[in-house]
Amino acid sequence: MEVNLAAIDRLPGVRRIENCSLDEMTSLATEMTHAVYPHDHVFGQFCSIQSHVDCPPEKAFEYLADVYTLQEWTYSLRDFTPMAGDGMVVATDRSGGGSTRIYLRVVKNREAMTVDYHCAWDQGDRLWMIYLMRVVPAELVLAQPGSVVLWTNCRHPYYDRNPFPEEVPQGRKIWVGDMWPFFYAGHRIELESLKRILEYRHANSLPMTIGGPPSRP
């Protein structure tokens, strides 16, 4: 059945030039444009950040697609160990104290240059902390060389309430969701690290992957 545009125009909250005049539209836009936005309004439910990186998009994608590089550019994910068979990796999230395990799986799409990290603290059966990343050629969107890296997190209800309290290591008081109000700041800091590392690796023609647990000195 074809969708009737008149029906679409009657949907509450749908504004198209057919049902909302240009005057109404600019009036609404004026009303919605504030000088200052409370942090919660902008980052309460979704945390989207972005940065320009002076590194070709293919190389940025290659780096992000290698799950082991997370131990280089993230603030606190360390000690990566592959799990049997299915591409899952287990690591330590030192921001949760030394005994917090984090389970990770990377889902990538080379054509769209998307890299999604599906993760969870404490257990690997339900990977609900999902870090959505996308690399865009900066040539297309900014008319300059390099990449634009987009990064979004959504506030899954588990951030507010840990559904697996039985998996919490003894003595740990903090829950990953306690830090949601700092996600914007924390992810900005990590994105800055990512940018600097990508630019360093590219400028010095260094490999863009780590590929497996690094050999330690």
State the residues that interact with other proteins by CB under 8 A.
35-36, 38-40, 173-175, 178-182
Contact 55, 200 (CB under 8 A): no
Contact 77, 92 (CB under 8 A): yes
Rank residues 41 and 196 by Cβ distance to other proteins and give the closer one. Answer: 41
To the nearest whole angstrom, how small is the minimum distance from the Cβ of residue 39 to other proteins? Answer: 6
Rank residues 173 and 216 by Cβ distance to other proteins and give the closer one. Answer: 173
Two tokens, residue 48: 């989207």
Rank residues 38 and 217 by Cβ distance to other proteins and give the closer one. Answer: 38
Start-to-end Cα distance in the chain:
65
To the nearest whole angstrom, how small is the minimum distance from the Cβ of residue 206 to other proteins? Answer: 32
Question: Which residue is listed with tokens 């050629």?
Answer: 137
- Please report, as a single letter, which amino acid is at residue 2: E
To the nearest whole angstrom, how small is the minimum distance from the Cβ of residue 184 to other proteins? Answer: 10
- Spatial CB neighbours of 210, under 8 Å, sequence gap ≥ 6: 66, 68, 69, 71, 72
Contact 122, 111 (CB under 8 A): no
To the nearest whole angstrom, how small is the minimum distance from the Cβ of residue 155 to other proteins? Answer: 12
To the nearest whole angstrom, how small is the minimum distance from the Cβ of residue 95 to other proteins? Answer: 11
Rank residues 83 and 174 by Cβ distance to other proteins and give the closer one. Answer: 174
Rank residues 38 and 157 by Cβ distance to other proteins and give the closer one. Answer: 38
Diameter of the chain measured on Cα atoms: 67
